[in-house]
């Protein structure tokens, strides 16, 4: 099965909803049928062929040329691979259940919102609310892996319920707000009010958070065998922190206002 390459004919002048572009569904269509597909661009429906030049690719992946106005790329993806050569807009990987989304650029807000499975890799930075809930949902991301090469915006992992998030830089304010479960590994440090309302889950931090909230307290520094096990079982986490974990960290526990079962481990 051959994949498709969709190359933008010109930079987008309005936001484009790409949530219906799935590799398996598109590869089963003729080129003419693909070109006739209607996409919501701004406030009107536009034929895909007016926006993209369509060609068959050597691999099974769906390849898109990037644009920061490409919204919903990989939304609902259950299988297959989408490769974006450049940036994407908001809602990338929303509700993903499987497959792989690779972005060779930055990603906008709400990346991986409601994600249940699969893998997202972004070489650049990500916007606000990465891994958070979709509108109307009580919990955010609950499975899968998200790997960000750069930093992330505000409310990273808000109400995260599962999965693994790896961030190669700093995060904005209110990281892990209302976090329920899962793991966030942050090579840098989070901004102010990190962990507000955090119930459970773990943050691995390369640097202590700014202005730690009153619901957290230090349990002191120590040696954690768990960190050495993580380094062996999840090499990507070890690589995020320079290739290895010593097992030494300061443990911050909270939020006491939400039960106090969450933890931040500031690595040393």
Q: Which of residues 33, 65, 97 is at a domain's end?
A: 65
Q: Kindly state the average pLDDT of the residues 142-157.
A: 98
Q: Kindly state the average pLDDT of the residues 147-154.
A: 98
Q: Is the pLDDT of residue 8 over 60?
A: yes
Residues 72, 189 within the same domain? yes
Distance CA 111, CA 33 (A): 29
Residues 83, 58 within the same domain? no
Q: Kindly state the average pLDDT of the residues 217-222.
A: 93
| Number of folded domains that form the chain | 2
Residues 118, 222 within the same domain? yes
Q: Which of residues 42, 65, 88 is at a domain's end?
A: 65
Distances (CA, A) of 8 to 11, 33, 89, 102: 7, 17, 15, 18
Q: Which of residues 65, 85, 104 is at a domain's end?
A: 65
Residues 48, 89 within the same domain? no
Residues 177, 200 within the same domain? yes
- How many Cβ atoms sit within 10 Å of the Cβ of residue 39? 18
**Is residue 225 classed exposed, middle or buried when 0-12, 13-18 and 19+ CB atoms within 10 A define those classes?**
exposed
Residues 29, 114 within the same domain? no
- Answer whether 22's CB lies under 8 Å from 14's CB: no
Distance CA 66, CA 46 (A): 18
Place of tokens 């922190």: 241
Give me the pLDDT at residue 32, please.
96
Distance CA 231, CA 56 (A): 41
pTM greater than 0.85: yes
pLDDT band at 130 (very low <50, low <70, confident <90, very high): very high
Residues 243, 262 within the same domain? yes
Q: Kindly state the average pLDDT of the residues 119-145.
A: 97
Residue 96: CA count within 13 A, CB half-sphere:
37
Distances (CA, A) of 117 to 98, 120, 134, 205: 5, 10, 15, 24
Look up the domain containing 19 and give its range.
1-65
Residues 139, 193 within the same domain? yes
Distance CA 51, CA 15 (A): 12
Give me the pLDDT at residue 1, please.
53
Q: Is the pLDDT of residue 148 over 70?
A: yes
Residues 196, 85 within the same domain? yes
Residues 158, 32 within the same domain? no
Q: Is the pLDDT of residue 244 over 80?
A: no
Give me the pLDDT at residue 212, please.
81
Give me the pLDDT at residue 58, please.
80
């Amino acid at each position: 099965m051959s994949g498709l390459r969709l190359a933008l004919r010109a930079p987008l002048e309005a936001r484009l909803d790409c949530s219906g572009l799935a590799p398996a569904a598109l590869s089963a269509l003729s080129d003419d049928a693909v070109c006739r597909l209607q996409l919501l661009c701004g406030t009107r429906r536009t034929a895909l062929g007016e926006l993209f030049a369509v060609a068959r690719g050597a691999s099974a992946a769906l390849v898109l040329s990037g644009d920061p106005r490409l919204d919903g790329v990989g939304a609902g993806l259950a299988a297959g691979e989408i490769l974006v050569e450049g940036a994407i807009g908001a809602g990338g990987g929303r509700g993903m259940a499987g497959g792989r989304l690779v972005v060779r650029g930055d990603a906008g807000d709400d990346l991986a919102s409601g994600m249940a499975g699969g893998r997202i890799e972004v070489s650049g930075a990500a916007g606000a609310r990465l891994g958070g809930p979709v509108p109307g949902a009580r919990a955010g991301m609950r499975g899968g892996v998200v790997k960000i090469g750069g930093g992330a915006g505000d409310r990273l992992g808000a109400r995260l319920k599962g999965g693994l998030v790896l961030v190669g830089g700093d995060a904005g304010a209110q990281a892990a707000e209302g976090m329920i479960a899962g793991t966030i590994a942050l090579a840098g440090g989070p901004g102010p009010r990190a962990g507000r309302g955090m119930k459970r889950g773990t943050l691995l931090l390369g640097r202590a958070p700014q202005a730690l909230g009153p619901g957290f307290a230090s349990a002191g520094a120590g040696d954690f065998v768990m960190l050495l096990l993580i380094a062996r079982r999840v090499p990507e986490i070890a690589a995020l922190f320079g290739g290895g974990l010593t097992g030494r960290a300061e443990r911050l526990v909270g939020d006491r206002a939400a039960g106090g079962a969450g933890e931040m481990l500031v690595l040393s």
